[in-house]
Amino acid sequence: GENVEQHPSTLSVQEGDSAVIKCTYSDSASNYFPWYKQELGKRPQLIIDIRSNVGEKKDQRIAVTLNKTAKHFSLHITETQPEDSAVYFCAASKASGSRLTFGEGTQLTVNP
Amino acid sequence: GAGVSQSPRYKVAKRGQDVALRCDPISGHVSLFWYQQALGQGPEFLTYFQNEAQLDKSGLPSDRFFAERPEGSVSTLKIQRTQQEDSAVYLCASSLASDGYTFGSGTRLTVV
């Protein structure tokens, strides 16, 4: 089955800096890669996703890149703000709307 | 409804007790998923329904876990003879076939 590895497990940045979180996956059949943000005690919320026919996708301060050959994808957050502090999870599946395999999460702390 | 609704929000069970967790998906969402999230970890897949059909239950950790969705809408996850290792947040998510998930707020189960 699919295995998703995520790093770093914790990341601390100063407000205004950029943050990068990286994930690798094992199943070459995976072609949908969402990222979720989870604040303490709350539900995971989809912040951005990418499909395998696209190499990069941006949404304001957030971008995701995908390298299918190397089987890795990354989340980039620019101009970080304290409200970006949360746990971020990457995930992979064979199609959107199907079973997801999640990474272990990255605790991002943005220091004011 | 506007979102995925789960109840109860918190449940404390004595070891050996049976529990039932409810998920009310977004109206019209045919796909429904259950995930288990242990403290400090990413969600792990339990089971998947498409309408009333349970298409994948490979993630259920033991035969003490049972899920149903008899009318293709509300789903119930039942855990029999709860054990301490069952303590976790149980997340429900629903989706249309080609969209990303919307998660509920989860049920935090504590077995004492």
3-state SS record for chain B: CCCCEEECCEEEECCCCCEEEEEECCCCCCEEEEEEECCCCCCEEEEEEECCEEEECCCCCCCCEEEECCCCCCEEEEECCCCHHHCEEEEEEEECCCCCCEECCCEEEEEC
Given this model, what pLDDT does residue A54 score?
79
Given this model, what pLDDT does residue B98 score?
64
**By the CB < 8 Å criterion, does B40 face chain A?**
yes
Average pLDDT value for chain A: 94
Contact: A49, B45; criterion CB under 8 Å: no
Given this model, what pLDDT does residue A91 score?
96
Nearest to B42 among A45, A97, A104 (CB): A104
Q: Would you give the distance in Å from CA B92 to the centre of its chain? A: 5
The band of A53, judged by pLDDT with boundaries at 50, 70 and 90, is confident
The band of B31, judged by pLDDT with boundaries at 50, 70 and 90, is very high
Nearest to A99 among B42, B56, B99 (CB): B56
Contact: B101, A45; criterion CB under 8 Å: no
Contact: A34, B100; criterion CB under 8 Å: yes
From chain A, the residues in CB contact with B100 under 8 A are 34, 46, 49, 96-97
The band of B78, judged by pLDDT with boundaries at 50, 70 and 90, is very high
Candidates B23, B33, B48, B101, partner chain A, best to mutate (most A CBs within 10 A): B101
